[in-house]
Structure 1
């Protein structure tokens, strides 16, 4: 009997994550910063969409037509459920890559995305995907691809192989994947306690195993316990994509574009001596001990002239998606945490504190009396988008068109939040993507739709919902037992929500 899983974990669902790098609207800023022309995206595809949160949010929140597949029928079923709820028309299937990539009804795509798939599939499946990209990605189209990479994973590869071998060989029949994971991690602890020379030669492995024990078991199952798990160097990745005629464009992780938080002055100077841009990426990975790459590739990179680059980047719109007082003037890169220059960042954040979209040109004009020049504005925006404090804004026509679909999808997700803590994102028609909104914040929004108007009323409504399910809040890791204390905690959270988070969600079109 054939194995439809192809060695991929299928007896436990993937997490309900949302991945902002898959949002096609994010392509513009890093492409413009790199001086590369970007396509107008009308048709997009996500291969291996997991639970389908990203695909459905992007389909609802933009004018882009989305297609996609995930081999796991349970996950595809949930994704299709979301697609029906929003009515945005996402075409999502439960086919293998080989089946989906040879469908006769697929359009040509402007954008294809794979997040966290490449490292966990076999070479034959990689070949199918590369052939698909070669045939179906339009000239000028963009591929987003993230993957575990060397050298950052080099020390962990033997330990990962040992963990999966333990789960396969030593796991009890019928134990289930979570039980096998727990047993494998316990075995790793006992092994490391014997002080093997491997651990002394690779001292960070013990810390990584300790961190694994604290992580979600659904995540660990898919991250570490598939049959295939192949961290790949950037050079090997580039070799795979050669036949699809793809050029490396730039990193999709915007903080990678800011050398000051990732490389020492000496390292920056060393890289500048390397004339080959592809080899430069490989060397850079050694400097930062890269573990996970998030990259944009383009079929036929076209460089913009200076005038076109300047004009287009100045018209790019952004919005503050975090409460103004919640933005920390710190950024974390490969060399640690850096403190951001108050003289540059405070004027920009103060300007954007009203959560209204502005172009980079408007920002520049508004802060030029502070002595700031456009280069400083651009770098600050790149950093703030990379940190998740700012987001790109789509055009007003697209916002208006998306709003009915995001309203329906958000209503469905918030209704799910009544009984589950799994779904922690809602869709924004302004950013064309997802916004983190935790369960209680979603329930407060739901209370507003039920006519509740004050934080006290929100808290009472939510408490009745929780009490009916025999659920309690926790504080400092301990359950709150009394009704009065639960209501007090909920009221405090609701008050903070009204003051800090609700204005942002209104500005982003998540709620009215």
Structure 2
């Protein structure tokens, strides 16, 4: 009997994660910032979509025709259910990459995305992916690919290998993957206690093992305990993609575009003296000890003139998607936490504080006289998007056409919040993607939709749902025990939701 899993963990489902970088709407600004033409996106494909939350929210919140596959039939069925509920005709399958690539009914794609797939599959599957990209990505099309990277993983890779080997060799088959993970983590802790030379040389390893203990076991199973796990250098990925006619465009992580928060002035100067773009990326990974890259590649890069670039930047529309009072004037890059200059960011955030869609050009006019020049404005917008406070937005026509789809999907998702906290993202027709909405906030939304108007009523409903299942609130790592204290906490959260988050969700047309 053949092993359809090909060594990939299949006896435990993946988490219900959502990944902003998979949203094709983000390509335009990232490319304009680099002086590149971004193609319009009509057809898109996600390879290895997991539980399908990202592909469902992107399909429901856009007019893009989505296709994709995930080899796990349970995950594919979940993705199909989500798109069906939304009324979206996405074509999602449970086929292997080779089976999917051989389909005769697939179009050519403007955009192909892979998040967290490349590093966790075999060389044979990697070659299938490369062949698929070569044949199915249109000229001018964009590839988004993320993967574990060297040198950032070099120190911990031996420990990961040892834990995986323990799970396979020592772990009991009858205990299941979660039991084997627990055993491997316990073994790793005991190993660290005897202070092996490996740990003395790689002193960050104990802290990383400690952090693993607090992480979701479903995530750990897929991240650390697959048979195949191959972090690689940027140059190695470039070699793999060499036959696809793709060129590296830029990082899909907007914060990577901002050198001052990632590189010292000496490092910036060192990199600027390297003429080869590809080699410069490899050296940059050493500067930042990069562990996970999120990259855009393009099949036939075309340059914008400086006039075109400035026009596109000024035309870019954005919206503030975090309560204004909750936006910290700090950002974290490879160099650690950095302060955001208040004299620059305060007027920009004030211009967006009514949660209306504004173009960068309109913001430029609003902050005129505040001593914020255009390059500073663009950098600030890039940082605010990278920190997930501000988002690019759809055209008004698209927003109007897809609103019923996102509404249907969101109503389906929030019903699941009654029994689970698995899904913490809802779809916005405004931004074409997902936004964090906690389980309790989703429960408040259910009661609002039923016609209740007061925060205390929403809290009462949420507590009815939780108490019926014997569930209690966890706050700062501690369980709130008494019903009275649980209700007090929920009422506080409901008032906070009403005072701050409700206006944001309405602006995003999630409510």
The TM-score range, normalised by the shorter chain, is: over 0.9
The answer on 1:253 being equivalent to 2:253 is yes
Q: Distance in 1 between matches of 2:220 and 2:202?
A: 21
The answer on 1:23 being equivalent to 2:23 is yes
Could you tell which deviates more after superposition, 469-478 or 131-140? 469-478
Give 1:98-497 correspondences, 5 Å limit: 98-497=98-497
Could you tell which deviates more after superposition, 49-58 or 452-461? 452-461
What runs of 5+ residues in structure 1 fail to find an aligned partner? none
Partner of 1:174, secondary structure, is helix
Partner of 2:296, secondary structure, is strand
Residues 430-465 of structure 1: CA deviation (Å, up to 9, x unaligned): 000000001000010111011110011111112222
Q: Distance in 2 between matches of 1:244 and 1:383?
A: 31
Residues 8-60 of structure 1: CA deviation (Å, up to 9, x unaligned): 00000000000000000000111000000001001100000000000000000
| Cα displacement (A) at 1:477 | 3.0
Q: Distance in 1 between matches of 2:486 and 2:152?
A: 44
Partner of 1:62, secondary structure, is coil
Partner of 2:68, secondary structure, is strand
Residues 375-404 of structure 1: CA deviation (Å, up to 9, x unaligned): 111000000000001000110000001100
Partner of 2:76, secondary structure, is helix
| Cα displacement (A) at 1:262 | 0.3
Q: Distance in 2 between matches of 1:266 and 1:477?
A: 42
Q: Distance in 1 between matches of 2:481 and 2:195?
A: 44
Could you tell which deviates more after superposition, 244-253 or 483-492? 483-492
Q: Distance in 2 between matches of 1:336 and 1:419?
A: 38
Q: Distance in 1 between matches of 2:48 and 2:357?
A: 33
Could you tell which deviates more after superposition, 439-448 or 454-463? 454-463
Q: Distance in 1 between matches of 2:240 and 2:343?
A: 45
| Cα displacement (A) at 1:369 | 1.0
Q: Distance in 1 between matches of 2:207 and 2:366?
A: 47
Say if 1:150 and 1:476 are closer, same or farther in 2 by CA, change over 3 A: closer
Partner of 1:369, secondary structure, is coil
Partner of 1:175, secondary structure, is helix
Q: Distance in 2 between matches of 1:40 and 1:358?
A: 21
Q: Distance in 2 between matches of 1:92 and 1:148?
A: 26
What runs of 5+ residues in structure 2 fail to find an aligned partner? none
Q: Distance in 2 between matches of 1:475 and 1:190?
A: 30
Partner of 1:98, secondary structure, is helix
| Cα displacement (A) at 1:485 | 2.1
| Cα displacement (A) at 1:497 | 0.3
Q: Distance in 1 between matches of 2:196 and 2:127?
A: 39
| Cα root mean square deviation, aligned | 0.8
Partner of 2:430, secondary structure, is coil
Partner of 1:414, secondary structure, is helix
Q: Distance in 2 between matches of 1:13 and 1:389?
A: 30
| Cα displacement (A) at 1:155 | 1.0
Give the TM-score taking structure 2 as reference length.
Answer: 0.99
Q: Distance in 2 between matches of 1:430 and 1:66?
A: 18
Question: What does residue 510 of structure 1 align with?
Answer: 510
Give the TM-score taking structure 1 as reference length.
Answer: 0.99
Q: Distance in 1 between matches of 2:477 and 2:182?
A: 22
Q: Distance in 1 between matches of 2:144 and 2:474?
A: 39
Question: What does residue 79 of structure 2 align with?
Answer: 79
How many aligned positions are there?
Answer: 511
Q: Distance in 1 between matches of 2:207 and 2:184?
A: 16
Partner of 2:232, secondary structure, is coil
